[in-house]
Structures are given as C-alpha cells and as structure tokens.
Structure 1
C-alpha cells in the first residue's frame, strides 16, 4: 500500500529542519525531503525570544545554548561621512522587561543539532534525493524525487529556499531584486568585552554589524561593494585585523579574525502569495532580504509557527486547503511590512539622495529621543502585535529561560 504522510517538508536547511520537527511535535507523520547543503555555513543568526521559545518547545535549545550569546543591547551608530548623520540609538531589553532580546547562535552548530533531532524522531522519514516536481490534487500533493521516489502527503511546507522547486511546481511567482552589495561574514576575538551588546554601524556601503558570541568573541556581517570583495579577501590576516578594528572604531579593542571569511551576495525576494492548494511557503522560499535588524530567520520561524497553527485550527493536515488560505492572509502584513522596511533602510544607506538621508537620520533621532516610540519599535521588532502576556504554551514556559 502506498504510504501517505501528513506533512511533507521540502528543504533541509535551518527553516526546513525546524518545520519538520514542529510538524512531528504535533504527532504528524513527516516526509522530510532534505538534500545535504552545498557547503558549511559560517554565519550566525540572532534569534529573538519568540524563536528561542520555539527551540525550547522542540527540545533543541539546551543543546545550542553553550555556543550562544545573549543580546541585551542593540546599538545603531552612524558610520557615514554624510551631511545628515543620525545620533546613536540603543535598544535595551530591560526596557521591555526582558532579560535578553534573544541569542546569537552560530548556524552550523544549530544546523547539526536540528539534523540530529530529525534523525532521532520516529515520526520523520528523511529523503536525501532532491525534488524534481510536484502535483497537487483535491486530496493530496504528490512529490517526485530525482531518484524516482514518489512521496504523497496531505499537506506540504516549502522550505527549499530562494530557488524553490516546490514553489515553482505549484505556480507561485516571486519578485526578486538585487543590491550592489556583498556581505562578508566572519568571526573574531577582541580584547574588550562586548557586554552582550550588538553594534550596527550604518555606512555608505550598507550595515557593518557586530553581534556577540560567548566570551570575548563576536560575529560580523560586513556589507561591501562587490568590486572590493577580492581585495579584502586577499588581505594578509594582520591587515584584515586592523581593517576590522578601524571600522569598529576600536570599541572592542584589538581584533583577531578567526578562520575563513565567507562572501554572500545580497538580494531580496518576496512571493506573490505565501501558499496555494495544499502548500505553504516558509522561510526564504517566500521572502528574503539583507541581514538588517535580526529579522530573516526569525520571520521564517514565525511562518512555521503560523503554518502549524493554521493546520491545527483548520482541523489537521487533511484540511490543508482551508489552512493555506488562512496562512496566506495572516502572513501577508508581517512579511510585506518587514521586507519593505529592511529594503527602505538598506536603500537609504546606499542612496546619496538628501531627502532619503534625512528620513533615515530623522527616524533614528526620533527613536533615540522619544522613549515611547523606541519601546513600540522594540516590541514590534520582536513580534508583530507583541504584547507582554503571551498565551502560547511554549512561550509561557520560555519567558524565564530565554534570559538565563
């Protein structure tokens, strides 16, 4: 007899792994279509408290906590030399009664823990052959893999990234655009403690963002002109150390860059809808943008939580068309507003257009000078419609743990 899965998750990255575990946590049988990633991921991800709540619920958090660092202050400094410059602005988690906004977690250890958890689950069956095509019907979705395997499920979560084969197969189009920027990603040690503070310098080439790691170590996302990438990567290590320290204004003292420096071209993507038929798009399958404001994977994990919630509210995976319609409506405002906000801020950094510079500088000045506005920005930055008393079962358990 042909096997029927409750949920098929397509994509084996961070979002896909979390989606598979979240579906299995509901007691659903999961087909996890997850080819190995093409390369090791040297980046880190700042996960906010709501995302940490989800990792706690899935039993992952204790395994990655030792390699993670709390984010208690997020600071923005204007590193441009323009006529209109913004004042410094700092966001402190204590202002909204949180011990920490979240934690900065290296992607590779997080990925490894998620992989181990999916392999240990009796409800998850993994397929490493890539997806070739998918066909939806009123009753189910059929997925054809490259090795000839046919997988049938009641619903599907597309987490196979920007070039999603599943999204293409079900006919959802996307709008894409690129930026004249490449993100250099590296880790470094420093002589002065970071005090659990992340500092984002706004420069003419984009953000230069330091995020804490355990001990006197930090990760860095450094946006540069693509034409400068090769020269920077070719710098002798001592010269690269000096360059990073200079751009950091020596606020963390002497710098020692660790290991490999990776380069990632910057671009954005947004789907014209976030689900169709029996399929919902989660993570970068439905939206992607530059690494500004700790929004990327947090937004993807919110997709997953909403997808699971929509399926439960509809009556389970067999009622997925109803769930997909609800999911598409509920995700639109969150995804489109954050995509537009990150795009506007990034373009404001790159633009020499004076009114746009004034808008950016004025907005940051207002956040610095008006406490109620800053509090609102922090709460909405954490979660849309944020409120102090969260009702989710996993969240209520984690409010104490996230700041430990």
Structure 2
C-alpha cells in the first residue's frame, strides 16, 4: 500500500543514521506503529564512536549490541595529558572505569559498522516500515503531519521525528530558532595500526590547537584517531600520503604506541556547533544533530543523540498509554525540558574545554589545570564526574538504566 493511502503512522522518523535508526527501533519495539524515512548511506571517513555505558545498555535493549560487541573495544581507562606547554600544566590524569563499578566507560566501534548493525535490526523489526526515500517537505496539520517524499508521494504521521542531521530540512521548515557557530579548527579522522598494544586505554593529549585523541579498537593494536588542529594545519595533514601522516601521528603521540601505519579510510571534519532553543514544535520533535551539533570532542555528540532517542521513546509511549496525542506539544513538554538541559550542559562543557585550549591566557590555563588536578586527586569528585560522564543520573531514559 503506498504511504499516502495508509492510515497515519503514530510516528515517522526522518533520517537513517544512528540516531534515527535507534529512535525508530525503540518506538517500534514499544509496539508503536512507526515509519523510518530516509536513504541508507553510511560515510566511510575513519570515524568511530565511543559508545558510553548508557548507550550500550540502550543498544542492548534494542537487540543490536550482541552483533556489534565483537567489533568494539572496551574503554577501561582514560588518560588525559596536558601538552599545551602551559606554566600550570598538571600531571597526566588517569581515570579507571572499575572505580565506579564498570568494566569499561564504554566501547569504541566504527561509525559505519554501528549504522549497519542498527539497519540489520530495523529490517526485521515488527511495527516498523522502512521507506527508503528522502523526505522533501513537511507540513503539520491538526490531526497529523504530512511528509512529502522525493517521488511526490505523501506519508502521514501523528508525530514526525527529525533525525535528518546538522543540515536538517525539517528543522528549517519548522521555524525553530537555531544558534550555530564554528571554530577555527578542523579534525582529521582515521584508523591506525600500531606496534605496541593500547591495553584498552584511550589517551587524549590537550594541545594548543585542540585535542589529539587515540581511542582503542579491537585486536589490541588498532586505534582510531581524532586530531583537532587549526584549519590550515588540519587540511595539510589530511593531504599527506599515508606514511607521512602515520609518522606525524606517531610523533604527536610521543611514540606512545610505537610505529604506526594508516589502516582505514580518513576524513576531514569541520569544527562547528549548533543548538536549538526548543527541540519540539507542533507534531515535530528533533533529535541527534538536527537538535545539536558538537565538534568531535569528548564522545558527546552521538551519545547525546542516543539519549534523545531513548527519551523520546519514553515520552511517546507515556502519551499513548494515557490516551494523549503523541504529536501535541503538551505531550512532549517533559521531553523538551530534559533534552534542552542535557544538551545545554554538554554544549557548554565541550565549548569551554575547546576554547580554553585555544587561549594562552594564564588565568584560563590555571583554572583548567586546577580542575584537572582536582579530579585527579579528589576521589569523590573524580568518581562523580566519571559517573555523570557515562550517564546523567537525572532523568535517565528507561532503556539506558539497564535491565
């Protein structure tokens, strides 16, 4: 039956990336008749995602984690090294997951593999219809919203979920207020092989140009790279041939993992940020990068998007159980408040860290160094920060709390 002839879906998720796929699966697994609209086109750019503990619990609840786990590496420790040359440089900080009762803070997996794993689950999910076409238009009506597809067909849903990325058409059509900004930096991403084992340790060097991060991948001798640098420097790095780039990475890492070679695709990621004043409009909820864009720092972007998806499932399910319209703003008011707070706090933290590295102003260096030293030496503070990092305690979505 063509979408235009079907009865309205309870929800239609637009966007077939990780956030959209997880939202559609979560809604469908809850018995909610859902459509997933969008083409499936993962980009091979050497990017990985460090899935924090709450995100892993969510993926497990969706049935996707068992197939992904063999392709993911645990992040048992996080080391932070101040490489800014500051007079207030603190000693390296080490954070261990077993201090807070976890075997790992999270697991690192290639982004394209994550999308493929979620897509495999979506293909066989009950209550989920895959519409492998892009949406070209959106109009919110009294009883339902109408999505116009690229071939001219229409699809009606009581709630439309915008998971269509940082350049979201749905967000633009909604009229929601947006704030966006950019940084004078770029991020080089790729996969590395190295002589020495990483021992499940993620290492982040804080440099004057931005963070330089090596994150473990399976096998013990492979890691992913996110190297944030000035725009021109990042472009020059991205244009190096494989042996030259591997040598530059090895030197920047101080030989920590021995000799290196490039072992996967690479990408050059712009450093930008975006936030919306409100993630909800009439018959529309925004999640993932449609609602917030982060630079690739601190593993916050996709983990926040997955929390959006899990929290939206809770809100829609509660509305339907109470006999309310899931597309009404009132039904999504709690979701909107919680997501605004979470996104605002994470945005402020990532922005403050990045900007503090770019300035040589001594009071800023002293404040950053003192904060890192406090987390290193004060056990209760360190453990509280670690717990909040893996999953916020306040308003944690049901499927992220574990079984």
TM range (shorter): over 0.9
Structure 1, gaps ≥5 residues long:
398-404
- The C-alpha deviation readout for 1:301-343, integer Å capped at 9, x for no partner, is 1111111111122235733323321211121211101101100
Equivalent runs, 1:3-402 vs 2, <5 Å? 3-37=7-41, 39-215=43-219, 216-316=221-321, 318-321=325-328, 322-385=330-393, 392=398, 395-397=401-403
Deviates more, 1:192-201 or 1:251-260: 251-260
Tell me if structure 2 keeps the 8 A contact 1:86–1:360: no
Inter-partner Cα distance in structure 1 for 2:108 and 2:42: 23
Q: Aligned pair in 2 of structure 1 residues 235, 175: CA closer, same or farther (>3 Å)?
A: same
Q: Aligned pair in 2 of structure 1 residues 332, 208: CA closer, same or farther (>3 Å)?
A: same
Tell me if structure 2 keeps the 8 A contact 1:9–1:20: yes
Inter-partner Cα distance in structure 2 for 1:132 and 1:171: 16
Q: Aligned pair in 2 of structure 1 residues 315, 234: CA closer, same or farther (>3 Å)?
A: closer
Inter-partner Cα distance in structure 2 for 1:95 and 1:39: 36
Inter-partner Cα distance in structure 2 for 1:318 and 1:256: 55
Tell me if structure 2 keeps the 8 A contact 1:279–1:324: no
Q: Aligned pair in 2 of structure 1 residues 225, 391: CA closer, same or farther (>3 Å)?
A: closer
SS of the aligned residue for 1:294 comes to: coil
Structure 1 residue 354 displacement after superposition? 2.1
Inter-partner Cα distance in structure 1 for 2:401 and 2:375: 28
SS of the aligned residue for 2:44 comes to: coil
SS of the aligned residue for 1:312 comes to: helix
Inter-partner Cα distance in structure 1 for 2:393 and 2:195: 40
Tell me if structure 1 keeps the 8 A contact 2:75–2:200: yes
Deviates more, 1:310-319 or 1:238-247: 310-319
Deviates more, 1:335-344 or 1:117-126: 117-126
Inter-partner Cα distance in structure 1 for 2:394 and 2:335: 19
Tell me if structure 1 keeps the 8 A contact 2:42–2:115: no
Tell me if structure 1 keeps the 8 A contact 2:183–2:271: yes
Tell me if structure 2 keeps the 8 A contact 1:56–1:394: no
Q: Aligned pair in 2 of structure 1 residues 391, 124: CA closer, same or farther (>3 Å)?
A: closer
Inter-partner Cα distance in structure 2 for 1:377 and 1:288: 23
Tell me if structure 1 keeps the 8 A contact 2:11–2:35: yes
Structure 1 residue 59 displacement after superposition? 0.9
Q: How many residues are matched?
A: 395
Inter-partner Cα distance in structure 2 for 1:31 and 1:236: 43
Inter-partner Cα distance in structure 1 for 2:389 and 2:158: 34
Tell me if structure 2 keeps the 8 A contact 1:204–1:350: yes
Q: Structure 2-normalised TM-score?
A: 0.93
SS of the aligned residue for 1:324 comes to: helix
- The C-alpha deviation readout for 1:86-110, integer Å capped at 9, x for no partner, is 3211111111011111100111111
Tell me if structure 2 keeps the 8 A contact 1:190–1:254: yes
SS of the aligned residue for 2:326 comes to: helix
Q: Structure 1-normalised TM-score?
A: 0.93
Inter-partner Cα distance in structure 1 for 2:157 and 2:117: 26
Inter-partner Cα distance in structure 2 for 1:377 and 1:142: 43
Deviates more, 1:95-104 or 1:114-123: 114-123
Tell me if structure 1 keeps the 8 A contact 2:209–2:358: yes
Structure 1 residue 240 displacement after superposition? 2.0
Inter-partner Cα distance in structure 2 for 1:344 and 1:41: 27
